[in-house]
Structure 1
C-alpha cells in the first residue's frame, strides 16, 4: 500500500514499464477495462498538435469553466509537480486523491505486468488512466485531454471524444511519427472519431488534405477550419496584455483581451473558442460572449513566453522545444522586445533537431549560457555548446542549470530567457518559486 506521493511517483516511474515511450492502445484499453472503463463516463474534447495543444487545451478549459461546467483538464508534461497534469476547474488533484486512486489501480497494473513484458503499462499510460479515473470519480461535465505524442496510438486516444482538435502539424518526433508532414498529419488525424466535430487550426494544405481524408473515412461532416469557419483579426501584442478580434460562423468577439504572451497565441485562442463553440453546438448550447471574455482575460499558459519579475529582473520562460517552437520564439522576440538587450539560458534534449534550432535562435541573444537539461534525454550538452559557438561568440557552458541561471542574472541585460526545453523551464520555474519538484 502506497502512503506518500513520493512513493506513488517512484512506483510509476520505476516500474518495468518505466518512462520509455510504449506506443499503441492495447495496454491502455486493457487497463481502462480493468478499471471499469472510466473514459466512457463524460464527454471529451481531445486536443493534439505539434505545437499549441497545451495552450489551446487550457483556454478551452477556462472558457467551459466560466460557462458553469465542471471541467477536467489533463496536460503534459508537468513543469514542477506531477499534480499539474490533472486538474478540475483549475485546481490540481490533491496528493491524497492521487495516492488513493493509484492504490486502487495497483492490482490491475500488476495483473497486466504478469501477462507479458509488452503488456506492462508505461508511466504515461498509468497517469492517463489515473486522470480518467479521477474525472469519473468526480463526475466532471466534460474533460479536455491533451495528447501526449502524436494521436492515433497515444494513450489518451482510448476515449471516444465529442470534439477533436488539431492545432498545428509540424516536424517533431519524426522517429515515431514519420518524416513528412503528411505522415505526421496521419498520426494526429487518428484522434478523429465517428460523430465527432473536428476543429483544425492553422495547418498547411498538404497536411490538411490527409486530415480531411480521415474525417471523410469516418463519416464526419462538421469540420471547422481556420480561415474558413473561424479566424482572428487585429492582433495587438504587449507583454502580459494582448488582444484580438475573433470571428466565426457563430459569433463575433471584438477586443478580446488575454494575458498569455507569444505571437502564436492568437491562433491557439481562436482554435480554443471554435472548439468550445463546436462542443456547444453538439449540446444545443450557445457561447456566451461576456463569459468567454472573462474566461480569457486572465488566461496564461505557464512556461510559454511567461514574463516573471525575479530579483528585480525581467525573466521570460519559453519552452521552445522544437523547430516550430524556435521559430515562434524568434518571432515573439522581434514582436515584443526587439530593441532590448537579451541574455538566455538554453538547454536542448539530444533527440531534437539541435542544429536546426541553434541556427534559428543563436543570434537572437547577446549572451548565452548552455546547460544540461535535467532529463535522461540530455546526455551531451557539450555538443549543444559547440554548435552555439559556431553562430554566437558570446557563449559559455555551465553544466548545472541552477548555477547557470544565477550566473545569467549576474550579467547586465534587459531580459533574461530560459528556453530550449520545457524540462529546463520547469526546473528554473520551480527554483524561482521555491516549489517542491516531484
Structure 2
C-alpha cells in the first residue's frame, strides 16, 4: 500500500488492487474516462534501475532556473504520497489531491494503487498547465502505467538487476522493459549502461528512429548530492535540458541550479555524520560504497540496515561489508519488510546486532560514521518526528 493513499480511498470509497499488474489497458481506459489528461503538455519520461529520482530532480532544477513551471512524478514516495506529485519542487497539497480523488472515485475502470496515483498525477499536472512534466516510471518501463505519455525525450540513467520477478532474470530482459519508454523520432539520453543493456536500448531506438545520446560526465560542478554517480546523473539532466530548451538553454543557469539541487535519502546528512541513503539493490549499494570510500576513506563505518522482501539483500551486504564490520539490522513496521534475522544470518561481520526500529538509538562515537540504508520505507519510519532515533539526536 502506498503510504497515505488509504485515507483517500476510504473517504471516497475507491476500490483498488494493492498488487502489481503490469500493462497499459486499465490505465488507458481510466484516463479516457477522465478526458485523457496525460495528453496535455510536454513530458520527459525516466526509466532505469537507479538514478531516476536524482536525475529528475536535477532536470527540474535546471528547467525552473530557466523560469519554466515544472511538475514531477516520483516513485516511490519519501515521506508520504504527497511528495510523489510535485509542482515546482513542492509536494501537492492534501486539498488538491482530495479534490482529484473525488473525481477518480467516479471512474469505473478497476485500477491498482499505483495506477490510481498515476492518474491523479496526470490530472493535477493538467490542472496546472505546466511548461514541462517529468515522469518517473514506477517499475520497468514499457508496461509501467506511466508509459501512456508521448514524451519529448526519454532518460535511462542505469540498468541493473532488480524486480526480477516481474522484469526478468537477465540484463537483456530488464533492458527491454526499460527501453519500452523510447518513442518514435524522440531522443533518449542514457547513462553508463553495460554493453548488453546498451545493445538492447540501441536496437529499440534504431527501430523507432530515435537518437541515443550518451553525454560526457561532468567533472567540475560541486553538487549537494554526494557521490561520483551523481555527476553522471547531473550530466544526463544537463543534456536533456539542452535538448528540451534548444536556443533558450543557458549553461550558466543550468550549472548554478545543479549545485543547489537536493533530494532526500541520497546520501543525505540528517545529523552530523549520520547519513540516510536508500541503497536497496547491488548497483545502488555499489554507488553508496564508492561514496563512502570517497568521503570517509579512513573512518570506521556503522551500517544500520533494513530491506523489503524480494530484494537482492545478499549482494547489498557483500558490497557494504567491504567498508564496514559493524552492522545493525532493523525490523520495521511494514508487511513487506524482510525479517532482520535473515540479514543477520547472511552477514559475515562479527560485530552485529538486531533491533526493532523503535529501539534504535544513535551511538555518539566521535570516530564512527553512521550510514542508515536499505529500504526508503525504513528511512521514512526513522525520520518520523516520533522516532526515538530522531528525538535522541534532536535532544
Shared topology, TM-score over 0.5? yes
Query: Distance in 1 between the 2:45 and 2:137 partners?
Result: 7
Is residue 146 of structure 1 aligned with residue 136 of structure 2?
yes
Whether the 8 Å CA contact 1:44–1:160 is kept in 2: the answer is yes
Change (3 A) 1:5 1:53: closer
CA shift for structure 1 position 7: 2.4
For residue 209 of structure 1, give the secondary structure of its aligned residue in structure 2: helix
Give the length in aligned residue pairs.
385
Q: Which segments of 5 or more consecutive residues in structure 2 lack a partner in the other structure?
A: none
Matches within 5 A, 1:306-345: 306-309=268-271, 313-345=272-304
Query: Distance in 2 between the 1:56 and 1:195 partners?
Result: 22
CA shift for structure 1 position 231: 0.7
Pairing partner for 1:299 from 261, 264, 269: 261
For residue 155 of structure 1, give the secondary structure of its aligned residue in structure 2: coil
- Residue matched to 2:167: 177
CA shift for structure 1 position 308: 2.2
Query: Distance in 2 between the 1:342 and 1:413 partners?
Result: 9
Is residue 402 of structure 1 aligned with residue 358 of structure 2?
yes
Pairing partner for 2:318 from 344, 359, 363: 359
Matches within 5 A, 1:37-52: 37-52=36-51
Change (3 A) 1:278 1:337: same
Q: Which segments of 5 or more consecutive residues in structure 1 lack a partner in the other structure?
A: 113-119, 233-243, 246-254
Change (3 A) 1:33 1:264: same
- Residue matched to 2:155: 165
CA shift for structure 1 position 19: 2.4
- Residue matched to 1:260: 225
- Residue matched to 1:116: none
Is residue 386 of structure 1 aligned with residue 345 of structure 2?
yes
Is residue 92 of structure 1 aligned with residue 82 of structure 2?
no
Query: Distance in 1 between the 2:357 and 2:351 partners?
Result: 18
Whether the 8 Å CA contact 2:331–2:357 is kept in 1: the answer is yes
For residue 327 of structure 2, give the secondary structure of its aligned residue in structure 1: strand
- Residue matched to 2:212: 223
How does the TM-score come out when normalised to structure 2?
A: 0.92
Query: Distance in 2 between the 1:101 and 1:16 partners?
Result: 15
Query: Distance in 1 between the 2:11 and 2:335 partners?
Result: 18
Which piece of structure 1 moves more, 17-26 or 320-329? 17-26
Query: Distance in 2 between the 1:279 and 1:39 partners?
Result: 19
Whether the 8 Å CA contact 1:349–1:373 is kept in 2: the answer is no
CA shift for structure 1 position 416: 1.2
